[in-house]
Chains A and B, each alone.
Chain A
Amino acid sequence: MKPILMLAVSAAALALGTGSAFADCGVEAGSVRILSNDFEALRIINATAQECATDAVTVTANATAEHKEIQVPALTINPAEYSVAVVANNSIVPLLNEDLIRPLDDLVAEYGQDLLPSQLVRIDGKIMAIAFMGNGQHMFYRKDILEQAGVQPPTSYDDVLAAAAAIKEAGLMDYPLAASVKPGWDLAAEFVNSYLGTGADFFAPGSAELTIDNENGLEVLRVMRDMTAFMDPDYLTFDATEIQKEYEAGNVAIMNEWGSLGGAVLDDEGAVEGVVENTVLTAAPTIGGGSIPAAALWWDGFTIAKNISDEDAEASFRAMVHGISPEMMAANKDAATWLIAGYEPGPAAVGVIANANGGARAYPMQPYMGLLHTALSTELAEFVAGSEDAEQALADVKAAYDTAAREAGFLQ
């Protein structure tokens, strides 16, 4: 049975890999131009969508880490430079704010039989994006180190801090913790994760008024500062890829890391002996006595540009549906935490799934969330560096956010 299954899977992979001529996407004519972020799962989807290319259909893809910077201008022109923008919870917001993507209800009704209801992102009742994978930061820990230190696997941040103290006490590691707290996007994401875990909201209901200046905000900052005591002194320069390296080098026992990097940690490349087999992926810790993982859940999905012809829109939608087909997922099970029908999570996906099952909240999609993220990314730097107290840091974030939100027209 097993070899036959293997054969079937590899045959499917071979069929997918070999080319355009056999892929039946049903697209007759049109131009498909994909703009996406640049990581493994998205490159696979882009390549699969490109199988739809025929003499009458062109499919091009631009996978770049700078996609957020170019998507708004590229979709504003008419006809748009790209017909498909692959986005996440946060990067869809500028496209919605500027009204640059089209509702997909008709296309879903006609060509979306393979899509699950949970994949449909609805804004104001209209389907605006098709999600295909989930992501998020969650806990990676070394069970051997925890055993040697005689501590149970942590489930809350207080446990994490206690475990770190025990590991340091036992002389197993100097800097047992790691988190991506480099000032900038990473640091802000770290705060957002933890704050979501407290269950509180960032904004007053029905307005852009910031409400993080409270005991929940202080608790989040306390935990962030306490964690830095157990981090490498260079923690201010560590982003997500850097802590992955530190972890694989065996310098770290517990870290919060992106689920999408789980596969890279667990593969047999780059890690020193003893790291891979002792690594456990699990939900992010809870914070402040809360019961949900303190981490934001992210989805990646595709949107179709507004400023393109209906023919191109149809071709783009069908090519992308082919790109995220269950067959593509079956051939690339471990590349991501897929939201596609028939997915069974592999070893690298259990962390994100655990976050979702634990009730973790999605990264907020409010139109002014980007302004808050920017304010957090600069104003928390001094706090996490240890040269400012928590009250001052929260007051600075609020002042910076208010200034930016007034300029952007969200606040009076």
Chain B
Amino acid sequence: MPNKTFFAFILPSLIAMVLFIALPIVSVVVQSLYVSHEQIMVEVENCQPFGGCSTELRVDTAATAALREEQPLGRFNGLGTYVNRAHLATTELGVILSSERSIGEKWAQILNLPFYKALIFTLVYCFVVTPLAMALGFTIALAVNALPKVTKGPIIFFSLLPMIITPLIGSLILYWMLSPNGILGATIQHIFNDPTLSLRASPALTWGALLTYGVWTNAPFSFVVFYAGLQTVPGDTLESAMIDGASRWERIRYVIIPHLAPLATFVALVQLMDNFRVFEPIVGFSAEANATSLSWLIYNDLTGDSQQFGSAGATSVLTILGVVILLSPVLVRTWREFKHKAV
């Protein structure tokens, strides 16, 4: 294809990508470098239905508006927002690391900082859910592939259900089932014979429930892709393996898995990205006390009684950096393979 034709083909999507992906990211980066103007305050007398009148501080709106007119973006803060306590907390981290505490205490202190608390859960979720969901998806794909043709359709449909259900609804369903009055919660209490046992109370059990939910909701994606991949496994190779006396397990290990390996890289890539922005189950499970994620931090900055756009911007940029770091080994490998083939 001549370069010109290629360019003409790709131009519409290129424009869309610049408009809807690149520019918003640039905007977020710029906003994360600024914080609000200094608020000019005046003392005024306020009267309300309860408690009568009192003298309180108020924002001098006229003076603040003038400041904004001058510098619409706010005060330039450089990387200040990135290193403050709500994000990388470099100062706090330095104090903790140089203190005379045991490693366990230091670790607990680090986990007390909101960003690191969220980061740890996000990473654990990524690295536990991704392989388990892939393994489960692969197992389902193998099982479905071995089914007779008539039953395949309905079973595929049911296997895809977790992916069809909106994540927030899915997590709410599981959350209610795990409540002490729900079928799963009551069963677990019965099995362990402990009426105070609640999956929503302890951090460890909450994490367990969130990770289980993650595997449940992510497995169908791996299943679909692996199932499609299984249809491309060459029949000749499988047959010759059988003639050579390979068992079912050996055929999977030495024929199917190597054949699907490139596909697995792709699935891992997508799933890692997906799981790094885990958010809905935390809200659905009301798990904020025990588990937070980077996306939840952004949400928390943008809702509630006060919005902090600079802080949300900084967390967003750090999330993007996290995704890049997470994916870099896979990307580097793919790039090497590509170059290897090209040569």
Q: Are A134 and B49 closer than 8 Å at their CB atoms?
A: yes
A408–B49 CB distance below 8 A: no
- CA of A399 to CA of B305 in the docked complex: distance in angstroms? 18
The reply to whether A396 and B112 form a contact with Cβ atoms under 8 Å apart is: yes
Is A367 in contact with B57, judged by CB distance below 8 angstroms? yes
A233 at the interface (CB under 8 A from B): yes
Nearest CB of chain B from residue A192's CB, rounded to whole Å: 11
How many of chain B's residues have a CB under 8 angstroms from any CB in A?
Answer: 53
Q: Do A339 and B198 contact each other (CB < 8 Å), given the known contacts A206-B57, A408-B306?
A: no
Interface hits, B297-336 → A, CB 8 Å: 300, 303-306, 308, 310-311
* Shortest Cβ gap from A196 to chain B (Å): 10
Residues in B whose Cβ lies below 8 Å from that of A366: 56-57
B42-68 Cβ-contact flags toward A at 8 Å (1 or 0)? 111111111101001111011001000
B46 with A297: CB separation less than 8 A: no
Name the segment of B16-24, B143-151, B219-227, B282-290 touching the other chain: B282-290
Give the residues in chain A near B262, CB-CB below 8 Å. none
Q: How far is the CA of A122 from the CA of B333 in the complex (A)?
A: 66
Q: Which of B35, B62, B114, B305: most chain A CB closer than 10 A?
A: B305
A237 to B179: give the CA distance in the assembly, Å: 10
- Interchain CB contact (< 8 A) of B288 among A123, A361, A373, A381: A381
A365 touches B36 (CB 8 A): no
B58 touches A233 (CB 8 A): no
Query: Which residues of the other chain, B, contact A402 by a CB distance below 8 angstroms?
Result: 85
Q: Is A185 an interface residue (CB 8 A)?
A: yes
The one of B36, B46, B51 in contact with A409, judged by C-beta atoms closer than 8 angstroms, is: B36
User: B51 touching A362 by the CB < 8 A rule?
Assistant: yes
The reply to whether A299 and B58 form a contact with Cβ atoms under 8 Å apart is no
Which of B38, B47, B59, B306 has the largest count of A CB atoms less than 10 A from its CB?
B306
In the assembled complex, how far is the CB of residue A92 from the closest CB belonging to chain B, in whole angstroms? 9
A122 close to B53 (CB less than 8 A): yes
The stretch among A94-102, A257-265, A309-317 that forms the contact with chain B is A94-102
Is A374 part of the contact surface with B, judged by Cβ < 8 Å? yes
| Cβ contacts B61-80/A at 8 Å (1 or 0 each) | 11001000000000101000
Partner pick for B59 among A96, A183, A378, CB 8 A cutoff: A96
Given known A367-B39, A371-B306, A378-B300, contact A123–B286 (CB-CB < 8 A) = no
**Interface residues of A, CB < 8 Å — how many?**
69
Q: Which of A94, A236, A356, A404 contacts B289 (CB 8 A)?
A: A236
Instruction: List the A side residues contacting B58 at CB < 8 Å.
Output: 96, 123-124, 367
Q: Are B57 and A208 in contact (CB under 8 A)?
A: yes
Q: Is the CB of A90 within 8 A of B305?
A: yes
* Chain B residue at minimum C-beta to C-beta distance from A404: B308
A340-371 contact mask (Cβ, 8 Å, vs B): 1 or 0 = 00000000000000001000111001110111
Contacts A182-B288, A362-B51, A385-B289 given; 9 further ones with Cβ under 8 A? A69-B303, A123-B58, A234-B198, A234-B200, A361-B50, A370-B305, A374-B305, A382-B112, A409-B39
Between-chain CB contacts (< 8 Å), 20 pairs:
A90-B305, A91-B305, A99-B62, A182-B286, A362-B49, A362-B50, A365-B46, A367-B41, A367-B58, A370-B305, A374-B304, A374-B305, A379-B114, A381-B288, A382-B112, A385-B290, A400-B85, A407-B311, A408-B39, A408-B306
